[in-house]
Structure 1
């Protein structure tokens, strides 16, 4: 197992953390794709729009999850701990995503209602995934 140090936190490069990262990307993509679909966009046709909506969330998540140690085996030691850390990281990731959406770099804008829905729905999807991952990984 390879370990990279980022500040005081670690990112472990292993098959377990690789699976966590892949699952995180799938969960966030699912959240965005379903959201776009409910707003009348077809994620399979409107790929550019979905990618434009997805990018700020992925950027926010990568920044927060990496720095907060969510890519270590210890981040999924217990379901309760995984849920708390995941949800808090997601809230911070949404704040970053909303800040990015307020710029000219991404479509959309920063909206409190969208941030709250993102925190709630995206947080549920990510926490469900991380709970399953925690239960599946042998301790």
Structure 2
């Protein structure tokens, strides 16, 4: 438990983890965009930019919520791949479930399919784990 002077978010957000955050969001946006292009063609990105963005939002929101709650951007997360990668895994699994729930709701188009759920969980994990591993190999 933290001190009375620190808030819940203060313990889970550290400026030193900002490069991880930028890379995480780019990695997830990239893998999601790849899926959009795979299903709709590259012209969809310029013809339907709102549709493209609305495809990404539920999953990026899910990651933002659970990545933060799990501590994927805490001071410890930015120290080593050994700490950063498990935090990403623990944050993405519930984050992707939230994203899938939002996508299945009337707020977003897309609905729900079990195959898509498996694909989004696995590809998101590959993107996050791959990015974080690369970050610590090249930059840390």
Q: Same fold (TM over 0.5)?
A: yes
Matched residue, 1:21 = 21
- In 2, the alpha carbon distance for the partners of 1:61 and 1:72 equals 15
TM superposition score normalised by structure 1: 0.84
Give matches, 1:120-139, under 5 Å: 120-138=122-140
Pairing 1:30–2:30 present = yes
Pairing 1:96–2:137 present = no
- In 1, the alpha carbon distance for the partners of 2:138 and 2:69 equals 24
Residue segments in structure 2 that go unaligned for 5+ positions in a row? none
Pairing 1:70–2:77 present = no
CA contact (8 A) 2:76 2:83 kept: no
More helix by share: 2
Structure number with larger C-alpha Rg: 2
Indicate the SS of the match to 2:117.
Answer: helix
TM superposition score normalised by structure 2: 0.84
CA contact (8 A) 2:77 2:83 kept: yes
Q: CA deviation at 1:89?
A: 1.2
CA deviation digits over 1:70-91, x for unaligned, max 9?
1123113332332222122111
Matched residue, 1:47 = 49
